[in-house]
Amino acid sequence: MPGSEILKQAHDIHDWVKDIRRKIHEAPELSGQEKNTAALVAEKLKELGIEYRENVGGYGVVGLLAGKAGGRCIALRADMDALSISEQTGLPYASKIPGVMHACGHDAHTAMLLGAARILSMHKDKFGGSVKFIFQPSEETHPGGAVAMIKDGVMENPKPDAVFAIHVFQDIDCGRVSVGTGPILAADDSFTITLTGPGGHASAPHETVDLITLSAHLILLLQSIASRESDPVKPVVITIGKITGGERRNVIASRVVMDGTLRTLDEDLREHVIKRIKTLTEELCATWGAGAEVVFFEGYPVTVNDPAFTETVMISLENLLGRDAVLRTLRPKMAAEDFSYFAKYAPSTMIRLGTRNEEAGCTGPLHSPFFNLDENCLYYGAAIHAKIVLDFLSS
């Protein structure tokens, strides 16, 4: 089907998709709490006459649309959960839930996938095989909803031959996309370092171990792993995001807890840095005479776009949007996504869809209380999903 026709059909249902997005946006639900969002998704799939299953890996919903007999299966994935952020956009459909906001665009992901379902349900006689619509909970919280859905059989009966996803990004203009092969998002591991010592009076630091000063030295030492121990063309991010210690200004703490995150794009480097964080912490603390415990929590793997499937996606995108709107140079970001788990079961591709519109004030970054998107991206997203499916299942 010509890209222009798909874009027109997506534009024709734009108000329907936009209404869904706004309903989800004003009633956001945190990871593992997406009950109402999932119910809305199921309601829309039922209206479209699409077979669906609820409570998959939690509040996950999976729709299945069969075309003509035979053929392959392709899965499309959208996440549904929100973040613990107080919205400050001032939009008429801003979050009505205190302290909870769709600041990562998952409301848009869900709405545009439903838009694609509506388009594809009108054209199931035009493709062979089937398409799975995966509406996933808990992307923002480890261990992630993808793992639970996979355990619940989402990648079986039928087994997808490919998985595709869209993530909105505010650094790309609305109407444009960015796509590339190889690693596109990082592995993220969390760690907690607990420092212990005797504590004492603030006026006599020589009689104790000043753990807060020690923590400052440790932070600088850990940064040397990225700056002096790692290949400069292989990115490493080590961030200490939280330090807890001390009870009074005149007491030297007996316990300091440091919570951090590690981001890498290379598995060997990931293992090396984990070992070095543990070693450097233990050695520095031994020098100071302090106790140290380092605990790591494995996060999401690196998200890798399959080269062959991604190339077919690029061709479909150019046919739909035009070459100028498809940026084929995708610089990896050090954020992480549990979409990476689906890539272990089938060739997978995630693209970035632009939402930026400076004139409309749609410039706030992801995970910001000011995040907003140009809602025209919704019909672009719906059209992209539909085009990818129609091309894949007709090839």
pLDDT at 351: 98
pTM above 0.85, yes or no: yes
DSSP codes of every residue in 127-164:
-EEEEEEEEE--SSSTT-HHHHHHHTTTT-SSPPSEEE
Q: Is 47 a catalytic residue?
A: no
CA 345 to chain centre: 18
State the catalytic residue, choosing from 29, 34, 140, 375: 375
- Can you list the residues of the chain whose pLDDT is less than 70? none
Question: One-letter amino acid identity for 33?
Answer: Q
CATH number of the 3-185+302-394 domain: 3.40.630.10
Contact 162, 105 (CB under 8 A): no
| CATH architecture, domain defined by 187-297 | 2-Layer Sandwich (3.30)
**Where along the chain do the CATH 3.30.70.360 domains lie?**
187-297
The per-residue pLDDT for 2 is 85
Confidence (pLDDT) at 330:
76
The predicted pLDDT at position 71 comes to: 87
Q: Which residue spans of the chain are classified as CATH 3.40.630.10?
A: 3-185+302-394
Catalytic one of 34, 87, 139, 300:
300
| 59 token code pair | 């509040």
Catalytic-residue membership of 380: no
- Is-cis flag, bond preceding 332, omega within 30? no
